[in-house]
Amino acid sequence: SQSERIVWLCEELGIDYELKIYQRERASLGAPLNLKAIHPTGTAPVIQDGDVTISESGAIMDYLMGQYGNGALSVSSNVPNFSDYAFWYHWGIGTFQSTTMTLIYIVKAGVEETHPVLQVLKQKITNSLEMMDQRLMQYTWLAGEDFTAADVYAVFIVTTMRLFTPFPLLGYSGIKRWLENVSHRPAYRRMIEKAEQSESRGEVPVLCDEAPRPMASY
């Protein structure tokens, strides 16, 4: 689930944490009702840190970086590539994931493959992948030469999220190399071991080139 980002971020920042895994509701595959007791959004990820309870990936990431990051994984506003960091981080949250999620809903609603709205969304995803690929052909990581939270946010969209809305990554050599670099990060490997043990997906999707076989709906 989207929670893998938070586990990964904690591993990258060396934050001690206790991981609680909730199973999706069998019928809806949505968040279980007992998450609602923790935060009114009722969605995962959600973290508890003393008196503070926060939901929403981006908010949790900003919070953890702000409290425990000591400047790591973000770019401060007086550094030249701050605007690149801000763009790629927010574009992942506000546009790329949002478009991908919309496609998941559209497919789930049974909209036909040939419907113009579905075509528009698929084109948006292709444009997004091309834009990312061009960036990653030029730079090692999205914000530049340093790995940041912008990468942590975006990786999930082209890996785990692809299991719910399959698209291929063939031909995107920048993205492919980026995902290979990700898969070599010790913190990422620890996340996969800890967080994903309960979900059997065969091969870890990070290195999978073709459109994966779709999992049950999101």
Q: How far is the CB of 37 from a copy of itself (least distance, A)?
A: 14
Q: How far is the CB of 76 from a copy of itself (least distance, A)?
A: 8
Residues 6 or more apart whose Cβ sits within 8 Å of residue 100: 125, 157, 161, 165
End-to-end CA distance of the chain: 9
Q: Which is nearer to a copy of itself, 101 or 192 (CB)?
A: 101
HSE on the CB side for 205, CA within 13 Å? 26
How far is Cα 201 from Cα 211, in angstroms, rounded to an integer? 14
Amino acid at position 195, single letter: A
Binding site for a copy of itself (CB under 8 A): 28, 40-43, 52, 54-60, 62-63, 66-67, 76-77, 82-83, 86-87, 89-91, 93-95, 97-98, 101-102, 105-106, 108-111, 115, 117-118, 120-121, 127, 131, 134
Q: How far is the CB of 141 from a copy of itself (least distance, A)?
A: 16
Q: How far is the CB of 133 from a copy of itself (least distance, A)?
A: 11
Q: Which is nearer to a copy of itself, 106 or 208 (CB)?
A: 106
Phi, psi of 144 (to 5 degrees): 145, -135
Helix (H) or strand (E) holding 30: none
Q: What is the DSSP string of 101-125?
A: HHHHHHHHTT--TT-HHHHHHHHHH
Q: Which is nearer to a copy of itself, 94 or 166 (CB)?
A: 94
Q: Which is nearer to a copy of itself, 88 or 147 (CB)?
A: 88
Q: Which is nearer to a copy of itself, 97 or 159 (CB)?
A: 97
Q: Which is nearer to a copy of itself, 22 or 63 (CB)?
A: 63
- CA dihedral 54→66→195→96, nearest 10 degrees, is 80
Handedness of CA 126, 161, 13, 182 (dihedral sign): negative
Q: How far is the CB of 58 from a copy of itself (least distance, A)?
A: 4
Q: How far is the CB of 77 from a copy of itself (least distance, A)?
A: 3
Q: Which is nearer to a copy of itself, 40 or 202 (CB)?
A: 40
How far is Cα 24 from Cα 32, in angstroms, rounded to an integer? 5
Q: How far is the CB of 64 from a copy of itself (least distance, A)?
A: 10
